[in-house]
């Protein structure tokens, strides 16, 4: 009898000891999936099966039931299953390369919507195509959630480099290295032959990669300034007869009257041709003397070297 009583006491003590073993399971009700997972990890448990109940009365996305129940003791590392109120999440699809309309259709079919939409430059993606998204592809997302999209604006514009003053070859190398195309135009100009005298767009302007920059290259033709033959002629003391000789030196047998203007022209880099003023116009210029009273082109005009300047002389 005493032995039976002893064994009964030992069994009771052992049962009490076993009940006190293990760790109490935390209460997960009302927590989100992420919060429940974190609480179990901190308590030494693992998250087990996760199921969803669309017809539940609890807050959508919150834990409404668990097994083992809160407060029960379980060994460390054991799993705890949970039931979450609301529909099961869906895996976010990969939307990369789709335009916004297509991406919106794909998301809608899965019960998701387009969230915020922004734009960013991309060197390879077509303008308007999705280049990134949040959540990333493959992430489980609650139905009804939004997926943020970043759409391509195409390659980032570049600043057009300055090539004025460079040679044609140097300018092409600089522009092509910057990812730009080159069109060459040539223009008569006193600048060094084959040097760039203008560019369009101008240096510093923004241009998309592959855009065309037109450069104007000098042909190297020299320009000179037309002297004022009228003023210079007025410095001499030509008579009317001398002026006539300048117009028709062969008739008068003396070319010395034209030599002064030839010298002025040679020094300036141009040629001269003498022409008579009409009789009617000469009436109004009576008393002007025998030197030239007009010229074409006008003084100061920039012309190609060797251009002929017409000098108007009174009869």
Q: How far apart are CA 32 and CA 60, in angstroms?
A: 9
Tell me if 189 sits within 8 A of 234, measured CB to CB.
Answer: no
| Same topology between domain 90-152 and domain 224-313 | yes
Q: Report yes or no: 229 and 258 within 8 Å, Cβ to Cβ.
A: no
What was the pLDDT predicted at 4? Answer: 57
What CATH code would you report for 158-221? 3.30.10.20
Domain ranges (residues) in the chain: 25-85, 90-152, 158-221, 224-313
Please enumerate in sequence order all residues whose Cβ is within 8 A of that of 97, keeping only pairs 6 or more positions apart, or say none: 125, 126, 129, 130
Distance CA(253)–CA(241), nearest Å, equals: 12
pLDDT at 247: 46
Q: Which CATH number fits domain 25-85: 3.30.10.20, 3.40.50.150, 3.40.980.10, 3.90.180.10?
A: 3.30.10.20
Per-residue pLDDT of the chain (315 residues; tens, 9 = 90+): 455 544 454 444 444 344 456 899 999 999 998 999 999 999 999 999 999 998 877 788 899 999 999 999 999 999 999 999 988 889 999 999 999 999 999 999 999 999 999 999 998 999 999 999 999 999 988 888 999 999 999 988 989 999 999 999 999 999 999 999 999 999 888 788 899 999 999 999 999 888 999 999 998 877 888 999 887 755 444 443 444 444 444 343 345 556 778 888 899 899 998 887 764 454 444 444 456 788 999 999 988 888 999 988 766
Name the 3-class secondary structure at 241: helix
Strands (E), 68-203: 73-74, 79-85, 90-91, 113-120, 130-134, 140-141, 146-152, 158-159, 181-187, 196-200
pLDDT at position 21 is 66
pLDDT at 135 (0 to 100)? 96
224-313: CATH, from 3.30.342.10, 3.30.10.20, 3.20.20.70, 3.30.450.40: 3.30.10.20
Class for domain 90-152, per CATH? Answer: alpha beta
């Amino acid at each position: 009898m005493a032995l039976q009583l002893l064994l009964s006491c030992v069994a009771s003590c052992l049962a009490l000891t076993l009940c006190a073993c293990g760790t109490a399971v935390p209460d997960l009700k009302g927590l989100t999936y992420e919060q429940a997972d974190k609480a179990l990890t901190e308590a030494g448990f693992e998250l087990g099966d996760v199921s969803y109940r669309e017809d539940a009365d609890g807050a959508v996305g919150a834990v409404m039931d668990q097994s083992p129940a809160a407060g029960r003791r379980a060994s460390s590392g054991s799993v705890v299953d949970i039931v979450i109120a609301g529909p099961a999440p869906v895996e976010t699809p990969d939307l990369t390369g789709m335009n916004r309309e297509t991406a919106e259709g794909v998301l809608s079919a899965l019960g998701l919507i387009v969230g915020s939409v922004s734009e960013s430059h991309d060197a390879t993606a077509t303008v308007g195509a999705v280049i990134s998204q949040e959540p990333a592809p493959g992430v489980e997302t609650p139905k009804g959630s939004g997926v943020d999209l970043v759409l391509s604006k195409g390659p980032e514009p570049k600043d057009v480099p300055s090539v004025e003053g460079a040679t044609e070859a140097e300018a092409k190398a600089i522009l092509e290295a910057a990812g730009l195309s080159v069109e060459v135009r040539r223009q008569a100009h006193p600048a060094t032959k084959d040097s760039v005298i203008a560019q369009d767009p101008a240096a510093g302007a923004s241009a998309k990669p592959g855009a065309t920059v037109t450069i104007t290259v000098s042909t190297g033709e020299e320009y000179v300034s037309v002297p004022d033959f009228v003023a210079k002629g007025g410095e001499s003391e030509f008579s009317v007869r001398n002026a006539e000789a300048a117009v028709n030196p062969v008739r008068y047998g003396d070319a010395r009257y034209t030599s002064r203007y030839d010298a002025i022209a040679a020094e300036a880099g141009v040629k001269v041709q003498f022409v008579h003023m009409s009789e009617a116009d000469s009436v109004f210029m009576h008393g002007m003397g025998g030197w030239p009273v007009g010229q074409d082109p006008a003084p100061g005009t920039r012309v190609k070297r060797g251009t002929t300047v017409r000098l108007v002389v009174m009869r």
